[in-house]
Structure 1
């Protein structure tokens, strides 16, 4: 109710005024220049940590050619007398991510040194962005034919493979089963709004810049509807692919948990091997619980729902949950290569919009003289971005990514979107805007669009923002940390530190 209306609004206003985010809003009112400036700053900040994620993807891609995959087993200790203790306390997948890749520090206050392998990957990522963006929209359009279509090919391959795996049905049931209690949490609605902003690229300013290149009488309403439908269909398509594989991962973890309990029961009660199986496990538990309740109570609790709930999110979904699922699949190297190539192309596509959301507003501000070639402007921006983003290659870099992702790429977008809708609907005027749409599309907007722009969208955005502020006042912000000295029953050595 605010994603699609905002998408339509940005396409229309950019196409009509033929300017970037700052130029558009200052044309409506000089007092609204801050909206465009905010979009530019958010686009720049998001580009910094987004390309860092692409650097991580490159690191995993390079290691995907090893057999076996380096995150499939723990490395030996220094004396080669056993496995690394830190890895054994966690899992090989977590160890490779937190130690081999990030070499993470205990908290955000301990910066650590620059990790040279991440610096190299980050430099490579920014070099690729520069090459693709070297001549702006002219060169970028050709690259996007590949970056926009290749992920569909990989998703289709993963979908076919995922649906044939054991546990895929459980993963899909988990995906489509609503949890109504979760909907009462304002953070969930903020996350949903953030996801819409990122998937549609609204409130970043890049969409306005792209729209300024459209023909003056292009039907932007049709474009908004097509993009919105394709975006929703793609999200559903990708979710089915991902959750079928996560269901497979959870099922394997569930069976592993049961097998550990079976081994414990077999040893403790001297039960003949193979008497207890996965099929008759519940019968044995019921039987032994009547006479040895304490022994049964000490067993590890094995619930498939629990393992599904433990599925990681954000960067953890790609670098922990999915990589752990991949090593269980035959031909794991091939699946890993395909997965990280897909992530690379997806990340690259997102970077184009973010970069356009920075360069075009800079031109609107006349910060960049017109005689400077596009190649030089793009090069300077990429170089400056690379130097600033070196903070993410420190030992504490992942913590800074979490902070940027949690605060730069969420609430500011909510505020920007709110003021964009208010600016067009009430300052520029819905009647003037309707006249512009009639000029471009050949028809005035219907009652649905007007209701969204005038009431529904701003009220929803304001409600989510107020609820989030109230939630933040009542709680303390936290971030997950890796602490090898802390050992719990969970295989993931994480606890939450207050900011």
Structure 2
């Protein structure tokens, strides 16, 4: 059966499993596999789990529940929801759309990198397992000899990295093909919204767990794997007194739930209005936390094997565990090197990059949903355009803009986007969401909505976190994060074969003009929240002849929601 349609021709999930898998796929992404293990190792191993789990309970779950609830109650995307709650909060939805767009640009580039490695995995030996012969065939390529085969394949043969961010290095044709393929696959999967993504998640959201389990079983049979796991979980309780540990834990909880992107609001809007969104939030939170810890265990079982292969003793190789394990360095350098030392290495490489592809693609479903639905709500496209055309135009524009990441300096641009597009704006959006529901819409009205949807009033835990605890945590994270960014020097890590310290990666300060880009990435989405409210206030002041227009808009929308609820009630009775 295709996706059902109810209440104002709004699509509906075929079944509950489809919805849950889609949300899990969106929340559980590449960050669970490569950022969480790095943070655990950086902040006292098992000690990092303590602030992570505490903040997961008091920051992540409440905001996840809130997004599920408002989307399900109002049955709209992020822009429609906030315009309904209060027209002055339209900027919250616009900010979410901007962040989803910016993140989609570089996130799908990572999928393109994954595809490149996947295509190159069908070789024996793997191309990153040994240095290539130089052009004169008199020896090995000097750059590779001075570094390592995995570093050379990543920085030169994959990225063809330039020495600085202001040296474009030209477009790399092989990565252009991979980028086009990545956007093409995404378009096919989201061509008709949840009607097509809902089918794809049966594979993309479940296969990573199968592959992780296979890697764990294999990893535990390798020498040094247990040492790697011990290294990960050995706690350094002194780290609990370090403010940066709590800051990173709060940020990781925030990012790993994919909060404030707008995708979760859209996904929940396709549910029955009487779905138990409270239960869904708790279940998905548990799955997310379990996945982070499980993935870290798998990753460090393999890294322990890698360290043992290099040093005979994992303890003497601590610096190997400490270097290059963050972000792309973990996936494309550390893990790929470990795979080359395993028997049947092409097989393990294929499995690993299939897993990363599924993780990335399922997250992109939510990111692109956070762009497409608001664009439709804002009537950017003519109403006569079918979903296929809207999805195609959006993917095409994103693909063209994404070409900036497949030039020689693309890796530096991707790191810049990752650092600023998905940091401060998300904190501003999430804080605005909490304040908007609790203090603008009104917690009492929201409680009545919850009673209508799930049959009971949210308990004292939800009341306390929504009203006080979660907003204070987000405000504290924002203040500490912003003060850290403002006070410290901003630099990027460059691969420069001409450097005296090569092959050590070189820290370089950003050129002055980059700060304009940083403002565009972080400032515009953040400022669109108050900016839209100010613009609306000015417009209303200039149009005093129609003072009742905003009220009529709210009443009209509320009436539509009421009508939809009544339709859903009658449909539910009919189904019974």
Q: Could you state the TM-score of these two structures normalised by the residue count of structure 1?
A: 0.88
Tell me the CA shift for residue 192 of structure 1: 3.3
1:453-492 deviations in Å (ceiling 9; x for gaps): 111111111111111222223211111100101244xx84
Distance in 2 of aligned mates of 1:142 and 1:191 = 35
- Encode CA deviations 1:290-331: one digit per residue, 9 max, x unaligned: xxxxxxxxxxxx823222222421011100110011001111
| Structure 1 Cα separation of the partners of residues 325 and 294 of structure 2 | 19
2:451 and 2:457 in contact (8 A); partners too: yes
> 1:358, 1:208 → 2: CA distance?
12
Map 1:228-267; keep pairs closer than 5 Å.
228-255=285-312
Structure 2 CA distance for aligned equivalents of residues 492 and 235 of structure 1: 31
CA–CA separation in structure 2 for the residues paired with 1:119 and 1:365: 31
Alpha-carbon distance in structure 2 between the residues aligned to 1:136 and 1:473: 40
Equivalent of 1:424, from 416, 425, 437? 437
Question: What is the Cα deviation at residue 198 of structure 1?
Answer: 3.5
CA contact (8 A) 1:172 1:244 kept: yes
- Matched position secondary structure for 1:385: helix
What are the within-5 Å matches in structure 2 for residues 181-330 of structure 1?
182=239, 188-255=245-312, 303-330=316-343
Distance in 2 (CA, whole Å) between partners of 1:67 and 1:315 is 24
CA–CA distance in structure 2, aligned partners of residues 396 and 187 of structure 1? 30
* Distance in 2 of aligned mates of 1:27 and 1:375: 27
- How far apart are 1:140 and its partner, in Å? 0.8
Matched, 1:455 2:468: yes
Larger of the two Rg values belongs to structure: 1
Match of 1:494 in 2: 505
Offset of 1:383 from its aligned partner?
A: 0.3
Q: Write the distance in 1 (CA, Å) between the matches of 2:132 and 2:402.
A: 30
Give the alignment's TM-score, normalised by structure 2: 0.76
Query: Contact 1:254–1:307 at 8 Å: present in 2 too?
Result: no
Residue of structure 2 equivalent to 1:263: none
What is the CA deviation profile of residues 315-356 of structure 1, one whole-angstrom value per residue up to 9, with x for unaligned ones? 111001100110011110000000001101111100000011
- Aligned ranges 1:149-188 → 2 under 5 Å: 149-180=206-237, 182=239, 188=245
Determine if contact 1:89/1:487 at 8 Å carries over to the other structure: no
Deviation at 1:180, TM superposition (A): 4.4
**Matching residue within 112, 117, 120 for 1:55:** 112
* Structure 2 CA distance for aligned equivalents of residues 361 and 63 of structure 1: 38
Q: Which of 356, 367, 372 is matched with 1:343 structurally?
A: 356
Are the aligned partners of 2:276 and 2:454 in contact in 1 as well (CA < 8 Å)?
A: yes
Q: Secondary structure at the match of 1:303?
A: helix
* Offset of residue 124 of structure 1: 0.3
The alignment status of 1:356 with 2:369, answered yes or no, reads: yes
Gaps of 5+ in 2: 1-57, 511-576
Q: Which residue in 1 is equivalent to 2:103? A: 46
Conserved? CA contact 1:246–1:311, under 8 Å: no
Q: Distance in 1 between matches of 2:430 and 2:234?
A: 30
Aligned length: 453
Match of 1:284 in 2: none
SS at match of 2:506: strand
Shift of 1:76: 1.2
Q: Secondary structure at the match of 2:99?
A: helix
What are the Cα deviations for residues 174-196 of structure 1, in whole angstroms up to 9, with x where unaligned? 21123445556655545434433
1:444 aligns with 2:457: yes
**Equivalent residue of 1:496, what SS?**
strand
Q: Counterparts of 2:507 and 2:227 in 1: how far apart (Å)?
A: 30
Structure 1 residues 492, 247: closer, same or farther in 2, change over 3 A?
farther
Q: Deviations over 1:202-260 (max 9, x none)?
A: 11000000111000111100111111111111222111111111111122222399xxx
Alpha carbons 1:162, 1:168 under 8 Å: kept: yes
- Cα distance change of structure 1 residues 179 and 446 upon mapping to structure 2, 3 Å threshold: same
